């Protein structure tokens, strides 16, 4: 299976030598579960879109420092492209910004969250039973870094996971779209670097809680299995 990564941001240059860039994080993560997967990277922030949706069997929309409601041409074009992929029922994953973009493009709503920043390890409850949710987990934890949230699910979306802090933490649309607010591709070292970098923005309480949360375990491998299972189920049913 070939997955097109729609890259919506790059790591800051002073982080890159140690932590790499976002496409590499996803490729390493997915290859740790299935080394046979193929990837093509499209830097949509630079207006690099696939010439045709058929170029890849599935697509993944990355996170971004930007908000989906920012007035930028590439964001507006990405929103249109998400709608096109949806209309074609192309298998698609969305992570953080990607999770929020799918919601915005397909009739939901994303906005700055009243809860403020969510950073470090976040804990979620699984609220749906699906055959691709293997291994089965009633609860899971992922790293997060966001101040925006989906506040209204898009049409035909089914909630997959939630938390008190993030009520719409993961959802699916039919059998071809699956999105998560958390970052399965993040390593704890990168999450810590982001928290330290944003200490003044986060404020003392959020900063200290975020650093403390990094002592908890995270289920990146399990969630990656979910995503791959979902894509394989989606591509086999097309």
Q: What is the pTM of this model?
A: 0.96
pLDDT digits (tens, 9 = 90+) for 115-164: 999 999 999 999 999 999 999 999 999 999 999 999 999 999 999 999 99
Of 86, 99, 176, 183, the catalytic one is 183
Residue 96 annotated in active site = yes
d(CA 69, CA 103): 11
d(CA 38, CA 31): 9
Chain-centroid distance, C-alpha 226: 13
d(CA 14, CA 221): 27
Of 19, 96, 99, 176, the catalytic one is 96
d(CA 222, CA 161): 14
pLDDT digits (tens, 9 = 90+) for 65-116: 999 999 999 999 999 999 999 999 999 999 999 999 999 999 999 999 999 9
Q: Which of 55, 44, 59, 38 is closest to 10 using CA atoms?
A: 44
Residue 185 annotated in active site = yes
Residue 176 annotated in active site = no
Mapped onto helix, strand or coil, the DSSP state of residue 39 is: strand
> What class, spelled out in words, does domain 2-236 have in CATH?
alpha beta
Assigned token pair, 224 = 């990656």
Of 45, 57, 162, 185, the catalytic one is 185
């Amino acid at each position: 299976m070939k997955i097109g990564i729609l890259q919506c941001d790059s790591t800051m240059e002073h982080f890159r030598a140690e932590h790499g860039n976002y496409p590499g994080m996803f490729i390493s993560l997915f290859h740790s579960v299935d080394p046979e997967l193929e990837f093509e990277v499209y830097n949509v922030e630079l207006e690099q879109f696939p010439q045709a949706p058929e170029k890849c069997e599935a697509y993944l929309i990355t996170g971004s420092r930007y908000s989906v409601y920012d007035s930028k041409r590439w964001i507006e074009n990405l929103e249109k492209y998400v709608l096109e992929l949806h209309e074609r029922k192309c298998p698609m994953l969305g992570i953080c910004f990607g999770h929020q973009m799918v919601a915005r493009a397909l009739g939901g709503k994303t906005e700055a969250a009243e809860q403020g920043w969510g950073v470090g390890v976040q804990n979620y409850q699984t609220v749906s039973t699906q055959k691709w949710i293997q291994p089965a987990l009633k609860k899971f934890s992922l790293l997060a870094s966001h101040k925006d949230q989906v506040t209204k699910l898009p049409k035909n979306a089914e909630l997959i996971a939630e938390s008190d802090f993030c009520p719409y933490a993961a959802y699916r649309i039919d059998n071809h779209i699956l999105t998560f607010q958390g970052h399965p591709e993040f390593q704890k070292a990168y999450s810590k670097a982001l928290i330290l970098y944003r200490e003044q923005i986060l404020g003392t309480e959020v900063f200290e809680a975020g650093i403390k949360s990094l002592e908890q375990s995270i289920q990146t491998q399990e969630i990656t299995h979910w995503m791959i299972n979902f894509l394989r189920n989606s591509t086999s049913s097309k």
